[in-house]
Amino acid sequence: MTQFLQQLSNGVVLGAMYGLIALGYTMVYGIIQLINFAHGDIFMLGAFGGLFVYNRMPEVMQEHLLIALPVCLLVGIIWAVTAAVVMERIAYRPLRNAPRLAPLITAIGVSAVIEEGTRLWYPGAKNALEFPQLLPGGSFTAGGVRITWASVSVVAVAVTLMIALQAFVLNSRTGRAMRATAQDPDTAQLMGVDTNRIIVTTFVLGAVLAAVAGVLQGARLGSVRFDDGFIAGLKAFTAAVLGGIGNITGCVVGGFIIGIVEVMATQYLPRGSGFADLWAFVVLILVLVFKPNGLFGEQVATRA
């Protein structure tokens, strides 16, 4: 039982990361009906941005967690947001009224450009790079389960950001404009909503969440790779579909489910560790076959 609870806690931490990334997918899809397959690479860029600034900090700053972590998060966010805004402006906006296949293929191309660009231009990125330990050390035991303070920090930050995003979308003026644009962009524009600004804001918010997830994931695992975003992005997309793409709460729940399923299957199924990346896609297939709207049944309004 103790081992089961230990694996469950590990799955919750992993699911928190998937949930943060999945929110970017669901927000962009809800606004412009685009599955942004390059979003996972924004997650990777956030981690590389944090690593880039850490390696150039004075040693005295590197030794202080309360200084190094916020700086790495800030630079990672700036790096990711810049890439997301450029991506939206150059790659997606010209195709906004094109057939849906065109921006989908473009998203896959953008993902490849980001990955290969990072591999070729970031120093040493052809191999895994060591990421600094920026999270609190130590652990405690609860019910016989060893829980690290780093894991607690990751889950706490992830849940806080998810709640903050939900409150922002439901209660702020920009959030109301986002919901109006998602429902009917033409009518929203006639009512004075700057839809271009709202769409850019959506990309920015998704990039912020992905960048935070990237830095925290790198700090938790101790390493980053240029292709980390591809698999993580696909699993996060699976979480968004599982929960109900377009539904913020559903994405969060889907992220936790995918994380727990992956850890449990890896631990308990025969040869599970050899198929660690398989289980999320098994879940995706089952969801698409039996409940294509996701667990929360969110349906995006059909546009004329």
Segment 250-275, tens digit of pLDDT: 888 889 999 998 888 888 776 666 67
Window from 57-66, 168-177, 204-213, 293-302 with minimum mean pLDDT: 293-302
Report the percent of the chain where pLDDT is more than 70: 95
Angle between helices 173-183 and 195-221 (to 10 degrees): 110
Binned at pLDDT 50, 70 and 90, residue 92 comes out as very high
Average pLDDT over residues 187-194: 90
Q: Domain 2-126+133-290 belongs to what architecture?
A: Orthogonal Bundle (1.10)
Supply the pLDDT for residue 174: 93
Contacts of 210 (CB under 8 A, 6+ apart): 20, 21, 24, 39, 40, 42, 43, 46, 80
Binned at pLDDT 50, 70 and 90, residue 304 comes out as very low
- The reply to whether the predicted model has a pTM over 0.75 is yes
Which sequence spans correspond to the domains of the chain?
Answer: 2-126+133-290
Binned at pLDDT 50, 70 and 90, residue 226 comes out as very high
Residue 61 has pLDDT above 60, yes or no: yes
Task: Select the more confidently predicted residue: 1 or 77.
Answer: 77
Binned at pLDDT 50, 70 and 90, residue 94 comes out as very high
The dihedral sign for the CA sequence 245, 250, 252, 254: negative
In terms of DSSP bridges, do strands 139-142 and 145-148 run parallel, antiparallel, or are they unpaired?
antiparallel
Q: How many whole angstroms from its chain centre is CA 249?
A: 14
Average pLDDT over residues 59-83: 92
Q: How many whole angstroms from its chain centre is CA 1?
A: 31
